[in-house]
Amino acid sequence: MKLRLAVVAAVLSVAACSASQTTVTEPVVYSLAEAADSVQIRVGATISVEGTLISFSSLVSDSRCPMDAICVWQGDAAVQVSAQKGADTQLMQLHTTLEPHSSRAHGYSIALLSVSPYPSASAPSRPDSYSVWLRILRVQ
């Protein structure tokens, strides 16, 4: 009986420890020159460019024509991106085909270059598998 109680206590202790641990990752830091070329951000991730935090929050919609289908229209992917400087956060919805492709926030122009993975009718993508390619330029 004592052995069973010890095992149950150990299991509960391990479960409590693992439940209380959260993984916090620091944003990847890019120089302005790197961001002006292009940077990739996975859904849920954040990068830092000159102290401004830029996050890819979510894929809002994806109506792009799957690569293994024939479509009348190429479709569009829309993503939500945020730019945070201090306590001020600006949200923007950017599109691959429709407008706007880019938006301005905190002295930067943030342009959506592409969304990956490209859709496939035979193998749908998991929501956590998406990433965006952005070009970030300083504006006056």
Look at residue 23 in the predicted model and tell me its pLDDT: 52
For a pLDDT cut of 90, what percent of the chain falls above it? Answer: 69
Token couple for 6: 């010890």
Buried-state track 106-134, b at ≥16 Cβ within 10 A, e below 16: bebebbbeebeeebeeeeeeeeeebbbeb
- The tens digit of pLDDT for each residue in 104-120 reads 999 999 999 999 999 98
Class of domain 26-138: mainly beta
Report residue 6's pLDDT band, with 50, 70 and 90 as the boundaries.
Answer: very low
Amino acid at 79: V
Angle at CA of residue 55, ends 134 and 27, nearest 5°: 100
- The tens digit of pLDDT for each residue in 45-75 reads 999 999 999 999 999 999 999 998 889 999 9
Average pLDDT over residues 79-88: 97
Q: Which of 98, 86, 81 is nearest to 35 (CA)?
A: 81
- Cβ atoms 36, 136 nearer than 8 A: yes
Q: CB-hemisphere CA count at 13 Å for 26?
A: 5
| Domain ranges (residues) in the chain | 26-138
Q: CB-hemisphere CA count at 13 Å for 92?
A: 23
Residue 2 parent element (H or E)? helix 2-20
Look at residue 3 in the predicted model and tell me its pLDDT: 45
Residue 140 in this model has a pLDDT that exceeds 60: yes
Look at residue 90 in the predicted model and tell me its pLDDT: 97
Average pLDDT over residues 72-96: 96
